[in-house]
Structure formats: C-alpha cells, structure tokens
Copies of this chain bind each other. A is one copy, B any other.
Amino acid sequence: MEMKFFNPKSVSPSEIVHMGRMYSSSFSSFRHFGVKLSPQFCSCKGSAPKVSYSNNIYLSKEAIDGGDIVAAETCVYRINGTTGASSNLLSRETRVLDAVDDQYGGVVVDPEKLPANPSAFGHILHYSLSHWKKKGKKGIWLKLPVERSDLVPAAVKEGFEYHHAERGYVMLTYWIPEGPCMLPANASHQVGVGGFVINDKYEVLVVQEKHCAPPSAGLWKIPTGFILEAEEIFTGAVREVKEETGIDTEFVEVIAFRHAHNVAFQKSDLFFICMLRPLSSQIIVDDFEIHAAKWMPLVEFVKQPLIQEDCMFKKIIDICIARLGKRYCGLSAHHLVSKFDGKPSSLYYNVTEDPNFNCIGD
C-alpha cells in the first residue's frame, strides 16, 4: 500500500497522455499561466503545450525538518500518529498531489487522483503547496468535480480562491509568487443577437414578448436571444428568428453591436444586431416565450413611440434603413483558420458587392 505512495511511477506515461487530453481544451488558456495574456487573433495563443509530468516525489529530509508549518504538522503526525491508519496517514501527509506542470511555471492538479478523504486531502494539499513553493511554481489550478465538492472547504482553508465554475465542477486557484495574481481571468461577457428581418414589401418581422419588462410592454420588437455555447453569431440570429417566429432566414451582415457593462452576474454584454434575409413568410409563433409575431410595415415599426423616444432603438433602425438603401455597410462573416492556433473561426469584416456603394454619413 505504502509503495503506491513511494512509487515515482505512480502516474504512468499513458496516464500523463490521458491527462494531456483531459486538459487539452483548457490548455490554450493554461498556456498563459503566470504571464499576462496577450492574444494573437483570439484571446489565447497558438498550439497545444507540452505537458511535463510533475514528479510525485516526497519532500527531502531538510524540507520535512525545515521550520515551515508543513514540516511541523508532519512531525506532529509522526509523534501523535495513533490508530492502525497512522502509517497510512504518514504516507498521505508526506506525498504531493498528482499534477502536471504547465508551460508557464504553473501546476495543474489531476482531478481524477484526489485523495478520498477530505482531511487527508487538506494535509496533502498543504504539504503540496509547500513543495510547489520550494520549486518556485506560480499558479496552482485545482479543478474539483461536483462529486468531490466535499474537498472545497479544505481547499479554501488552504487559501485557494474560486476562479470559475461550470455545472460539473468548480475551479480554484492559488497564486504563489509575491505580487499581483497573473492568472487569466474568467469569462467576462455574455453575447446576445437580434435579427432584423425585412421582406421585399418593406415589412419587418416583429414580435411581442410574453415576459417583458415594463418599459417595453406592448412594443413590437425584433426577435432577440442569447447565442448558445460555441454557436456562431450568424447562426444564433437565424436560430432565434426561427424559434420565435418560424421564419427561415439567411444571414446578411452584422449591422452594429452594443457593448454594455454590469448586466447579468455583473458581467459585460455584447449584443450584435444582424440583418437577415427572409426565406419564408408563414409565421408560426413560439407560444412559450412569444405573445404575438407579425410582418409589420417598416413605417409603422419606426413610428412606435417607444422607438421614436429611444435614441438607441432609433439609431439602429436608421442604420438598418440605410443598409436597405445601400448607404451603409455592416460586417459579413468569413470562415478562416489561422495557422497560429489552427482554430476554425469567423472573421467579421466589411464587404460589398457594389464597388460604388457609399457608407452612411454621420
């Protein structure tokens, strides 16, 4: 049993490879550990990092006898070690958590090899931090799956902070060096889309929402919604219009976007207004969220007091009308892959088929 703890090969190469895969989707961020983030054409850098195995070694004698709290605690355990589990405890107290190094002097703890017992985890984590400090490590990343939530209090007790959480896990971090924490930030934005759909009779596709805040009660508005995880902006706009009204459309351009702050969960918000070309005319209302939907003459749509009174609504509609008159050009979507990260992505820029087409004046 103890051999398991003393065996330097307790993580096999195949397991390391597995861990590399396990973390691969996060490594584009992990590659920034300990350095200020500096995007290329996305906010994270190029190719996948080399994952080197952080030896699951024991602290040397001087570390154990050293004046630090870890050593002290370890000694206490040695002296007071009682019950049949004492030798096991000892071995637990004196091992370092299984982890992989990242390219930036950080350490990523293996969430699949966490000690079973929260108190043992607390001691091993304490001991590991002392080990990593001696090794000059920077950021420590501790991903605790929801089924290991019993370990959260011990991690917080050791000084870990919440970094972010998703349904299945909470990520905690510990910044070892003196000075400000240089770990990458959590996601900062939510992204919404609005679909401006106008037909050849100059009728706009509008909806009235079932659940709407007082200011927009009774307003006929364009279909809007959030984009889904990993969804394209143009896809999200087409999907929202289809869901709310049953109308099929094709994406033309991002006409404008709005940036606002301290919206949901104090995060910022990017809202993209998309011009869409209708491919069908038969409206099927989504009863769940939409009270009513119809094709409304553009003139009537613009005349709505709520729009006339609101500078932002008005400006956006002015832009859409200018676009219809080819006096405006928005940003169209172009599928491109950069060699620097090999990621398929959408580059939005300004293109027109008409070389004589003029942009709107202010």
Which residues of chain A have a CB within 8 Å of any CB of chain B? Answer: 25-26, 28-29, 31-32, 35-47, 104, 146, 149-150, 152-153, 155-156, 161-171, 184-194, 209-216, 221, 224-227, 229-230, 232-233, 255-271, 273, 288-289, 306, 309-313, 315-316, 319, 328-331, 334, 336-341, 343-353, 355-362
In the complex, which residues of chain B have a beta carbon less than 8 angstroms from the beta carbon of A288? 36
Bound form: Cα–Cα A47–B216 in Å: 10
Kindly list 14 other residue pairs between chains A and B, CB separation below 8 angstroms, not including A36-B289, A38-B224, A312-B339.
Answer: A28-B262, A36-B225, A38-B289, A41-B194, A45-B212, A170-B170, A184-B226, A188-B226, A256-B331, A312-B336, A329-B329, A352-B359, A352-B360, A355-B361
Closest to A349 in B: B256
Tell me whether B162 and A146 are in contact (CB under 8 A): yes
Bound form: Cα–Cα A7–B217 in Å: 38
Bound form: Cα–Cα A167–B171 in Å: 10
Which one of A31, A41, A262, A338 has the highest number of Cβ atoms from chain B below 10 Å of its Cβ?
A: A41
Tell me whether B153 and A162 are in contact (CB under 8 A): no
In the complex, which residues of chain B have a beta carbon less than 8 angstroms from the beta carbon of A188? 187, 189-191, 226-227, 229
Report how many copies the assembly holds. 2
Tell me whether A357 and B355 are in contact (CB under 8 A): no
Closest to A227 in B: B188
Bound form: Cα–Cα A145–B165 in Å: 14
Dominant secondary structure at the A interface: mixed
Q: How far is the CB of A69 from chain B (nearest CB, A)?
A: 21
In the complex, which residues of chain B have a beta carbon less than 8 angstroms from the beta carbon of A149? 152-153, 155-156
Tell me whether B256 and A347 are in contact (CB under 8 A): yes
Which one of A152, A185, A190, A210 has the highest number of Cβ atoms from chain B below 10 Å of its Cβ?
A: A190
Tell me whether A187 and B190 are in contact (CB under 8 A): yes
Tell me whether B46 and A215 are in contact (CB under 8 A): yes
In the complex, which residues of chain B have a beta carbon less than 8 angstroms from the beta carbon of A104? 211
Bound form: Cα–Cα A32–B209 in Å: 12
10 A-B residue pairings within 8 Å (CB atoms): A26-B264, A35-B210, A149-B156, A165-B171, A185-B226, A188-B229, A259-B345, A262-B343, A312-B347, A353-B362
